[in-house]
Chains A and B, each alone.
Chain A
Amino acid sequence: MLKIKHLAVAVGDKEILHDVNMTIGTGETHVLFGPNGSGKTTLLAALMGFPKYRIVNGSITFRGKEITGLSLDERARLGIGMSFQRPPVVRGVKTSDMVAACLKERGDTETIAGLAKRTNLEEFLDREINYGFSGGEIKRSEMMQLLAQKPRLALLDEPESGVDLENIALIGELINDLLEKHCPILDRKCMGLIITHTGHILDYVNARTGYVMCDGRINCHGDPHEILQTIKEKGYGSCVECLLRRRLNV
C-alpha cells in the first residue's frame, strides 16, 4: 500500500505541491489528471525520490515503511519504478545494459531477449539508450525496463504521449502486464499511478480511482471515467474554477 499524507514538495525555494493526500491499495491502479504545469510530474518525481524535489511537509509510507528519508536508488530497490516521459540519452550505454541493470542478478540474455521481443524492441538492444529513439520507442523502452525491474509501485508519466495509434494498444498491454491485470486483484502485488493528460490510456487500462490535480493540489477524486468525461465536456478550466470556488468557500 502507498499512503501519502499532507505532502508538500518544493523545487528550490518554491513550493509546488501542497497538502497532497492519496492512498493506493496493493493491486490497484489510480490515474492522475491535470492540466500542463499542475504538478503531476512533480508528484511522481517526489515519490521516486529525485533529490531536486524536496519534501517540506507530510509523509509517504510504502509497504508499511516511511520512505521520505530514503534516497532515489533505495526507493527503487524497495520496489518503486518510474517510466520517464523524457529520459536522457546515455551515450555508450546500450539498451541491453539498462535492461540488465533493471534485472540485476535475475538477468540473463534470454530474459533480455524475451523482454525485447515483447516490447517490439529487438533491434534496439545494441543501440545506445534513447539515442535517436522516436517518442513511441522511448515509451516502449521505458516499459521494457520496468517489466525487467518488476516494481511494486509503478509510476507512469504519460505513457501514451507521442505514441501512434498502432502502438498505443501495445503500450496498454504492457502496462496491464506490469500491473498484473491478468490476476485477480487480491493476487496482485503491483500497484500503479498513471499520469495522463488526454485520458487515452483509459481505453486500454482499467483504473479504480482518478484524481484531478490543479495548481499543486488534488482537486477531486472519483471514478476515472466520470472525471475524464467531465474534463472532455468542460475542459480543465472548470476544474480550476471549482478549485477557486472551494478555496473561497463559495
Chain B
Amino acid sequence: MSEVKSSESYREKAKAAEAKPAAFGEDIDLSTYLTSAEEQPYQSEPAQLPVQAKERMLEAGVVLDDPSQRAGTYIQMDNTPVHSSIRGEGVEVMPISQALERHDWLSDYWWRAVAVDADKYTANIELSRSDGYFIRALPGHKTIYPVQACLYLAKAQLAQNAHNIIIAEEGSELDIITGCTTASREDPGLHMGVSEFYIKRGARVTFTMIHSWNPAVSVRPRTGIIVEEDGLFLSNYVLMKPVQSLQMYPSAKCVGENATVRYNSILVTGKGSSLDVGAKTILAAKGAKTEIISRAITTGGNIIARGYIEGDAPEVKGHLECRGLILHGEGTIHAVPELKGNLAGIDLSHEAAVGKIAEEEVEYLMARGLTRTEATATIVRGFLRVDIKGLPPMLGAEIERSVEASEKELM
C-alpha cells in the first residue's frame, strides 16, 4: 500500500479521535473490515483494465476506452493508485503521495479544509497513511474537458481509504467527474474518503460525483471546501444505486468576497438503504452566495436530507431547497433544513417538501393520454430534473445518463 508522510501533530490528533463517532449517521465498527488489500499493478493504459471493472466504472461516469473527452484520469483500486495521467497542459493529476514529494508546499493544504480529528473516519484516513488523488488547475488555466477520477473498491470486506486534495489556482477553471463503485454487486465493504478543495481567487470548479455502490457497502466521505474571493464551487452529487449506509455532510466556507457555492444532490434509494446526506455552507465574506438543492426519492429506504447555511457577513445570500418523494413502500424522508443568521442585512431562505406523488398530477397527465405508469415516470423524471446553473454540457449529459439508466429500475 502506498504511504503518505505526515507530521506527528496530525498523527497525535488522529490517535485521540480514533474511536470518535461521527456527529451524524450510524456508528460503523471499523474493526470488522480488512485494513489492507493486495497491491494492484500500475496500468499505464487504463483501457487495458479488466472489462468488468471498466463496465462498473462506466456506470459511475468514468470513461476509459476513449479518454479523448477527458483532461486527465486518476484510478485507485482498493488503496492503490493504479493509473494517473493528463492530456495536455495546465492541469496536474497524480497520486497524493507523489504530489507531496513533488510539492513542498502541499503540506500547507493538508487537513486545512477538513479537521483530522473530525471523527473516527478522518482519523483512520490519517493513521492509515492513505493515498488518494491530487488534482490542480494551474493559474489562469481553463480545462475544456473534465478530469475524471475513480475510486474502485475491489476486495470484499475492505476498508478503502482516500485522501484527496483539489486546488484550483487563481483564475482557473476545472471540471471534475468522480465515479465511485465496487467490483462486486454484493460483497460488503467500507469506503472512507477525505476531499479537501481549495478554490482560489476567481477560480471555478465543477465537481460532479456519481456513486454506484452495492447494497452491502457503507460509505463515509468527508469533504471540506474553502472558496476565496469571486471563486465558484459547484457540486453535483448523484446516488441512484442502493447502498447500505451512507453519511456525508460536505462543508464549504466562503472566505472571500462574492464567493459562491452551489450544491445539487439527487438521491434515490430503496429498501434496506440508509442515507444521511447534507451540505453546509458558511458565508463568511461580504456578498457570498450559496444554494443547496436536493431531490430525494425513496422506494423503501430511509433518507435524512440535511442543509445548513450560516450568514456571518454583510450582503450574503443563501437558499436551501429540499424536496422528497416517497414513491412506494414504507420509506422515510426526513428533511432538516437549518438557517443561521448572525447579523442584519443577510438574506437566507429555505423550502422543504416531502410527500408522495399527487394523484391530481398523475390524472392531469393521464387526461393527455399517458397510462398511469407513463404519467408517474414523467413526474419522477421531472422531479429528478435539477436545472443546474453553470453546469458544463458534458457533465450535464453524464448526470442525465446516470439518472436515465436508473429510472427503469426505479419504476
| Residues of A that sit less than 8 Å from B by CB | 48, 50-51, 71-73, 76-77, 81-82, 84, 87-88, 90-94, 97-98, 101-102, 104, 128, 145, 149
Contact B382 A149 (CB under 8 A): no
B352-385 residues at the A interface, CB under 8 angstroms: 358, 360-361, 363-372, 374-375, 378-379, 381-385
Contact A92 B382 (CB under 8 A): yes
Q: Which residues of A contact B378 (CB under 8 A)?
A: 93, 97, 101
Q: Which residues of A contact B384 (CB under 8 A)?
A: 92
- The closest CB in chain B to the CB of A78 belongs to B369
The yes or no answer to B323 lying at the interface (CB within 8 A) is yes
Query: B-side binding surface: helix, strand, loop or mixed?
Result: helix
A248 CB to closest chain B CB, in angstroms?
Answer: 39
Contact B382 A101 (CB under 8 A): no
A223 CB to closest chain B CB, in angstroms?
Answer: 31
Contact A98 B368 (CB under 8 A): yes
Contact B382 A94 (CB under 8 A): yes
27 examples of A-B residue contacts, CB within 8 angstroms: A50-B363, A72-B366, A73-B366, A73-B369, A73-B370, A73-B371, A77-B369, A82-B367, A84-B364, A84-B367, A88-B358, A88-B360, A88-B361, A90-B361, A90-B379, A91-B383, A92-B381, A92-B384, A93-B365, A93-B379, A94-B382, A101-B368, A101-B369, A101-B374, A101-B378, A145-B368, A149-B368
Given A92-B385, A97-B378, A101-B378, 11 more pairs with CB closer than 8 A: A72-B367, A73-B372, A76-B368, A81-B367, A90-B361, A90-B379, A91-B383, A92-B381, A93-B382, A97-B382, A145-B368
Q: Report the bound CA distance from A50 to B358 in whole Å.
A: 14
Q: Which residues of B contact A101 (CB under 8 A)?
A: 365, 368-370, 374, 378
Given known A-B contacts A88-B360, A90-B361, A76 and B381 have beta carbons under 8 A apart: no
Q: Report the bound CA distance from A69 to B371 in whole Å.
A: 16
Given known A-B contacts A72-B363, A91-B323, A97-B378, A149 and B383 have beta carbons under 8 A apart: no
Interface-centre pick from B370, B374, B375, B384 (highest chain A CB count, 10 A): B370
Partner of B369, one of A50, A91, A102, A128: A102
Q: Report the bound CA distance from A88 to B383 in whole Å.
A: 15
Q: Which residues of B contact A72 (CB under 8 A)?
A: 363, 366-367
Partner of B367, one of A76, A90, A93: A76
- The closest CB in chain A to the CB of B358 belongs to A88
Contact B323 A104 (CB under 8 A): no
Contact A90 B368 (CB under 8 A): no
Contact B364 A90 (CB under 8 A): yes
Q: Report the bound CA distance from A111 to B281 in whole Å.
A: 44
B249 CB to closest chain A CB, in angstroms?
Answer: 25
Q: Which residues of A contact B371 (CB under 8 A)?
A: 73
Q: Which residues of B contact A92 (CB under 8 A)?
A: 379, 381-385
Q: Report the bound CA distance from A94 to B383 in whole Å.
A: 11
Q: Report the bound CA distance from A125 to B348 in whole Å.
A: 30
Q: Which residues of B contact A149 (CB under 8 A)?
A: 368-369
Interface-centre pick from A50, A87, A91 (highest chain B CB count, 10 A): A91
Q: Report the bound CA distance from A92 to B321 in whole Å.
A: 14
Q: Which residues of B contact A98 (CB under 8 A)?
A: 365, 368
Q: Report the bound CA distance from A71 to B368 in whole Å.
A: 12
Interface-centre pick from A71, A93, A149 (highest chain B CB count, 10 A): A93
Q: Report the bound CA distance from A72 to B367 in whole Å.
A: 6
A74 CB to closest chain B CB, in angstroms?
Answer: 9
A77 CB to closest chain B CB, in angstroms?
Answer: 5
Q: Report the bound CA distance from A93 to B379 in whole Å.
A: 6
Q: Which residues of B contact A91 (CB under 8 A)?
A: 323, 382-383
Q: Which residues of A contact B365 (CB under 8 A)?
A: 90, 93, 98, 101
A76 CB to closest chain B CB, in angstroms?
Answer: 4
Interface-centre pick from B358, B367, B382 (highest chain A CB count, 10 A): B367
B377 CB to closest chain A CB, in angstroms?
Answer: 11
Q: Which residues of A contact B364 (CB under 8 A)?
A: 84, 87-88, 90
Contact B369 A48 (CB under 8 A): no
Contact B369 A76 (CB under 8 A): yes
- The closest CB in chain B to the CB of A94 belongs to B382
Q: Report the bound CA distance from A91 to B378 in whole Å.
A: 11
Q: Which residues of A contact B374 (CB under 8 A)?
A: 101
- The closest CB in chain B to the CB of A148 belongs to B368
Q: Report the bound CA distance from A7 to B154 in whole Å.
A: 67
Q: Which residues of A contact B323 (CB under 8 A)?
A: 91
A75 CB to closest chain B CB, in angstroms?
Answer: 9
B403 CB to closest chain A CB, in angstroms?
Answer: 12
Q: Report the bound CA distance from A84 to B360 in whole Å.
A: 12
Q: Which residues of A contact B381 (CB under 8 A)?
A: 92-93
A32 CB to closest chain B CB, in angstroms?
Answer: 18
- The closest CB in chain A to the CB of B323 belongs to A91
Top-6 shortest CB links A-B? A92-B382, A93-B382, A76-B369, A73-B366, A72-B366, A88-B360
A156 CB to closest chain B CB, in angstroms?
Answer: 13
Q: Which residues of A contact B375 (CB under 8 A)?
A: 73
B293 CB to closest chain A CB, in angstroms?
Answer: 12
- The closest CB in chain A to the CB of B375 belongs to A73
Interface-centre pick from A88, A92, A104 (highest chain B CB count, 10 A): A92
Contact B369 A104 (CB under 8 A): yes
Interface-centre pick from B358, B368, B372, B381 (highest chain A CB count, 10 A): B368
Interface-centre pick from A71, A82, A98, A101 (highest chain B CB count, 10 A): A101
Q: Which residues of B contact A128 (CB under 8 A)?
A: 382
- The closest CB in chain A to the CB of B372 belongs to A73
A97 CB to closest chain B CB, in angstroms?
Answer: 7
- The closest CB in chain B to the CB of A50 belongs to B363
Q: Report the bound CA distance from A102 to B365 in whole Å.
A: 9
